[in-house]
Structure 1
Amino acid sequence: MSHDIRTERLHLRPFAEQDAKALLDILGDTEVNTFLPMFPLKHLEEAEAYLHKKLAALRSGESLLYDAVCMKGSDVPVGYVHVSGAGSHDLGYGLRKAFWHRGLCTEACQAIIDRLRRDGLPYVTATHDVNNPRSGNVMQAIGMKYRYSYRELWLPKNIPVVFRMYQLNLDGQEERIYDEYRNKYPHFIEEL
């Protein structure tokens, strides 16, 4: 899915191989990485390999989208948004710490949701660690609905995590609930 999306403050575009240094700046920060399913990137070669793998996943259809989030007027990524090509159509996002608390993830994700709706994707899901409620705030702000929570031993960090699963049905079929996680892990409904 080749595209170029502009919002009031942002420019979203597919990542390219030359973005490895910027990706290292994002994913190498231990605080940014706290709630990611990977360890922080440590050096440029590791970032290049990671980016190469992500771009290969796009080509194979394993990922639907892996976009660089740039500030308008700049081509340097300060964050990312991705959507999995797997059945979950999992939406993920992150920003360099210097860009937190400005509503930029919400703005980027809303632009991506608008694009996915136009492209005919039926739904997206997203999960967040209960200890990362700000990520859940982004999900709610873009119209996602809480469906259930589940417990998972999160690898490779090998820590137990309670995740909240959110979903947005883009085709109007509100009764649809993606159930892979609740079928695989102990799950429950929280009063939020």
Structure 2
Amino acid sequence: MPTTCRTERLTLRPLVAADAPAVFAFAGDREVTRLMDWEMHVDLADSEAFIEDVTAGWDDGDDYCWGIELYDEARIIGTIACQFDEHGMQMGYVVAKDHWRRGFATEAARAVLDAARDIDDVYRFSATCDVENTASVRVLEKIGMRCEGVLARWSERPNIDDSRIPRDVYMYAWTR
């Protein structure tokens, strides 16, 4: 995967330690993280640890997480990641609330899917989203991924409540 991707309005680049406050601004927001399958960051140390973890993923060559940076402002407004798994590659993303409904997630997701398409042995590129996450459904459909169905009780959404009951998700995929 490329280290950096550029689109019309965005630069996707690896996160650095100095990005921790920007990451915490959205990863510590209850509304932004409500339907994520990872726990909301409770302090800056959580965001710093996250950046250390994703930096190690780049070094290992199997887990890629880019900061979504506004091209004209050089400011991180979200993250997008993809990992290799036994089925191909899987993608996930998050964007700060004050940048919702402006097409940034779609633009970033399209760039990452296009980069994955350039890898000859990637035959499947997938993403899941909570059945309540209509914004993510729109993003995945706009970039040409197809809904393969609902995975019942697939994954926890720890920021909804403390019950840890797995929730239903849509499975979307692009296949070669």
Determine if the TM-score, normalized by the shorter chain, exceeds 0.5.
yes
Shift of 1:77: 0.8
Unaligned runs of 5+ in 2: 159-163
Deviations 1:137-168 (A, max 9, x none): 11110000111211226347203311110100
Give the 5 Å matches for 1:85-104.
Answer: 85-88=84-87, 89-104=89-104
| 1:148 aligned counterpart, secondary structure | strand
Mapped partners of 1:85, 1:41: distance in 2: 25
**Contact 1:66/1:82 (<8 A) preserved:** yes
Give the 5 Å matches for 1:1-12.
Answer: 1-12=1-12
In structure 2, what is the equivalent of residue 32 of structure 1? 32
| 2:57 aligned counterpart, secondary structure | helix
The answer to whether 1:168 aligns with 2:171 is no
Kindly tell me the number of residue pairs found equivalent between the two proteins: 169
Shift of 1:62: 3.9
Deviations 1:97-156 (A, max 9, x none): 000001111011111111111233322100111111111111110000111211226347
The answer to whether 1:127 aligns with 2:128 is yes
Shift of 1:7: 1.2
| 2:118 aligned counterpart, secondary structure | helix
Greater relative CO (CA pairs within 8 A, separation 6+): 2
**Contact 2:155/2:169 (<8 A) preserved:** no
**Contact 1:153/1:159 (<8 A) preserved:** no
In structure 2, what is the equivalent of residue 111 of structure 1? 111
Which has the larger Rg? 1
Give the 5 Å matches for 1:134-173.
Answer: 134-152=135-153, 154-155=155-156, 157=158, 158-169=164-175, 171=176
In structure 2, what is the equivalent of residue 79 of structure 1? 78
Percent identity for Structure 1 against Structure 2 = 28
In structure 1, what is the equivalent of residue 161 of structure 2? none
Amino acid at match of 1:146: C
**Contact 1:2/1:14 (<8 A) preserved:** no
| 2:166 aligned counterpart, secondary structure | strand
| 1:19 aligned counterpart, secondary structure | helix
Task: Name the CA shift for 1:62/1:114 in 2 (closer, same or farther; >3 Å).
Answer: closer
